[in-house]
Chains A and B, each alone.
Chain A
Amino acid sequence: MAAQPKEIAGQRPSYLAEGGLVGWLTTIDHKRVAVLYGLSSLFFLFVGGFEALLVRTQLAVPNNHLLSADTYNQMFTMHGTTMIFMVIMPLEIGFFANFLIPLMIGARDVAFPRINALSFWVFIFGALFMNAGWLWHALPDAGWFGYANLTERYYSPGMNIDLWDIGLLILGVSTLLSGLNFFVTIVNMRCPGMTFMRMPMFMWAMLVTTVLILLAFPALTVGLIFLFLDRFIGTHFYVAALGATPILWQHLFWIFGHPEVYIMALPAFGIISEILPVFSRKPLFGYAGMAYALVLIAFLSYGVWGHHMFSTGMGPVADATFSITSMLIAVPTGIKIFSWIATVWGGKLRMTTAMYFALAFILEFTIGGLSGVMHASPPIDLQQTDSYFIVAHFHYVLFGGMMFAILGAFFYWWPKITGRLLDEKLGRWQFWLTVIGFNGTFFPMHFLGVLGMPRRIYTYPAGMGWTFWNSFETACAYLLGVAFLIFLVNLVRSLRSEQAVGDDPWDARTLEWSVGSPPPAHNFDDIVTVRGRDAFWLMKYGSHDAPGHDSSAGARASAAHAEAGHAHVHLPAPSWYPLLFAAGLLVMGVGAMTWLRVVFLGAGLLLVSIVGMGFEYATYGQETEESRATFFRGVDSRKMGMWAFLGSECVFFACLISTYMVYKARNLGGPDAAVLDIPLTSFSTFVLLTSSLLMVLALAAIQRGDRKWSAIWLFGTAGFGLVFLGGQVYEFSKLYLVEHLAMQDNLFGQTFYTLVGTHGTHVAIGVVWLFVMAFAALKGKLQQSRSLAVEIAGLYWHFVDIVWIVIFTLVYLMRSIKEA
């Protein structure tokens, strides 16, 4: 645990060179973490595929009772949940992006290697937690978007939905941390010369994706927390009683859920934008337009969630608005599709399997996009939604789009990752079987939808005209299964083959191909300097107009490593804490479903690992020579990370606050905001705001090296925070004991306690943090060089105070405005 950073001089062993179980369990190398992600999500790919085949087998003939209704419902729910959260996202983000981001931008690792490993362990434990339902025949069974109020305890009494709810919360932590990590990496760790407009398009896609993750996942988290409270404490967030409405879940879920579609789609767009140019031997067409299109798609994706809810009766105005915004997304998507075609146009095509998949992607994804335009129109949607037409649509997007891109990416980057080529002949078999199996399975679903077959039915009667296409689809689905088995064989065979591949088998254009295959643990021997787009192509050929393929390996190597310097590379030491942290989260999840004490055990583990990681990070809060050299983008990565986290928190609180506002207006009976004690809260607000001032003084003190005063001001800030918390404890006790307002009592109670309580928790975490810092200052551990630590804590503290200003205004000062 206390291993020292390794010194690597000269030689370049592959990142896979050092074996050993412990090495893999404690690794924080982004490439190894990526491999762990890849292996686990490949496993889940086959689990999800197995579930899909069970579903298809059940539907092969009418009145089939191979699976019980219950089992079928579990299978389709887990198929969706698995493919989205445990296959597509982790393959794109956890595997490919994780492996490639540092290599493509010329960095040695991601910004926060420990958090990266932590993301993986949290992910795998979350996924296993949810899949634990296999053991008790209690897998989640309410569909991947688990519409309330079916998910309430009354209608779903089993542990199925508990596993889903807690499992998704855990997976959300993992995704959010990955998003934060990669965002900071791409913004901060680009090598010299790698401006935003010179980044590979995959990096643009990932940058936008990470922003989407940061701003979308909090909505899901809030929705899941409400569901948790409903199921475990007996609140009524989604019950159609006391004025609450189950539609709230749909809003929260789709505010997350639609950006989620692009969280899966944009990396695929990025992958395609890498594969096509390489195998066409031409630069990506319309680079700037492609980048702007990504940003525009991401921006629009926040304003379209309502198109999942046209049938819920939102009224014509909302329907029309969401319809128009949804259709607008077709414009940037169209730009992308035409630009891809223009990239291929006039190229010298190298028809590898990767290229086949990329080209097929364009067509399949276009079909999915066009059917999307259909149900962006509410009248059409009313016929198509929840029918097999929708199933066809999103499989054309998710499989024809994302999965084709992923398969292309496997064939393209596999040699870089493993040092072995995938077999092209098997690849071609796989490709054609996939194309035939995929289109045969999913295209007829359009017909079934038009013929009125609803989705999620475990059986259907004969005589509906659905039988033929269903049998046909099932046959094709098995073909698809065969294609994936061939893929598996191909992967295994390539790993066992002895034939090593060169560094740059495709004559590619981006930096990852300039290093070894597989790359050395530290990626780049020297810091690379980039002089334009398609950086490696430029290094090889000097200009975008390739003069031919006369460049020798030696010339490439010397070009890639032209920059001198940095003989010694610091690699962060492996760590057990990420694994421990994830275990803590898992134990908490298990505890929530069994005994409360276990939750505390898990929380203990969590705390130990956070503290452990804090102490392990020798440079925490310190601006060392190394950090100055690496983090040359101006803002320190840790500060940038905090900013990103706070951005995400904004959405989190926005969801809580909007729920409060909506439910306050719908509150029926019982105490409402009128019972709030304004004078008391005004006082504690004053105290909290004053503490922000003390925080500023603390930072100023540490920056000028005044340890004594910085300790005093830090204690002051924490103390004022404590006073605020005391006020809140008093307020809550009074509400509970005097006004008899419990969380379960009415809409005001549950939303008030949840919102203000969540803020209180944030304050409490801040107070603990500040006390730790203050004691460190007292002990003399907080030197001037570590002022960054105080600055980051300060950012958090100011943010919490600002949130309080909003809460104080909306909850307390505007309490009398009923219809706010």
Chain B
Amino acid sequence: MALRDVRASVIAIVVATLVLGLGFPALATGFAQLAFSHKADGSLVKVDGKIVGSSRRSCRRP
């Protein structure tokens, strides 16, 4: 009985780590890079090609 649980656990751990831990983050990153590449990379601000900081929407003050 316990052995069956161990076997099921090991398989579930491998599947969960691959699917939830790598698969979906990769999918989300792929989507983000395609649809919002600037924001997904951290909304970096460049002046003359050099990074000078990051602008996030919230930093824009009235």
Please indicate whether A and B come from the same complex rather than being unrelated chains: no
